[in-house]
Structure 1
Amino acid sequence: MRDVLIVGAGPTGLALGIDLARRGVDALVVDKADELFPGSRGKGYPDSPLTEDTRTEPAGTVRAGDRAPDGETAAGKRLFDVLRGPHWTLLAVGTDAALPPLGVPEARIAGHSDQGAYGRGVFLIRPDGYVGWAGETAAGLTEYARRVGVTG
């Protein structure tokens, strides 16, 4: 038997489920949908001057300004654990693209199921957990980082 049943896998239900799990509480999140939602469940910043998406045809559902979904890095760590903290994170998904030296933590997701939401590319995740920049390669990332004040 579970300690807590959370009805609804929207932003609040998912956040509560994550918070309870981190506290060691056995919680179950249920939703009326038959399958996982591939995109962001919370408010994003898609048209903000703090975001930039340079991809011509994004393969995944995540866009600059969306909340960064969880996944597993090539090193076997949960992406949320890598993103946690007051820092920017540079993420390469399904690509061996060279990453510019921004002085921030870096993570790679190999080409497997977690790549679906992101699609192939390079992403700069803001300290608040939202995608600030997205590109097929890192071209233009250094300029964006300088413009928004990225620091390691």
Structure 2
Amino acid sequence: MTTNKLVRGALVAAMYAVLTMALPAYGPLQFRLSEIMTLLAYYNPFYIIPLTLGCAIANLASPFGIIDIIFGSFSSFLALTAMSKTKNIYIASLWPAVFSIMIGIEIMLLSSEPVNFFIITGQIMLSQFIVVSLIGVPVMKFIAKNKFLNIDKI
């Protein structure tokens, strides 16, 4: 791995973690704007590991502790891997919502109060869909069209 790639990966991981921790990002409505960055894995699978690490770092602040660090990051890893293998960006953008089922299970099992699995999972899936599919796809398509930013080389 080149120094350039190592630095790019570290910057992406740090940006994801900071963006996640800077805004309300835990609980049933997780409007993590940092999730827009998951679409980088669609363009380049190199970003699977940096984004997974960024998620693990961000989950250090989670009320569910080590369990969220492990399972939340694993959920992200699975979604990112699926995104990198999907040919259509619109379909790729749905994977974070699909794999957020794991987060719904986690919250249901670890919450100190009774939680309805379907409601909590639906809320998380909806927030993922809004951020990644409705906001993220147009943002990334705009960036992809911009020759100055050249997303393929990011």
State TM-score, norm by structure 1: 0.27
Greater strand proportion: 1
Instruction: Judging by fraction of residues, say which structure has more helix.
Output: 2
Normalised TM-score (structure 2): 0.27
Larger gyration radius, structure 1 or structure 2: 1
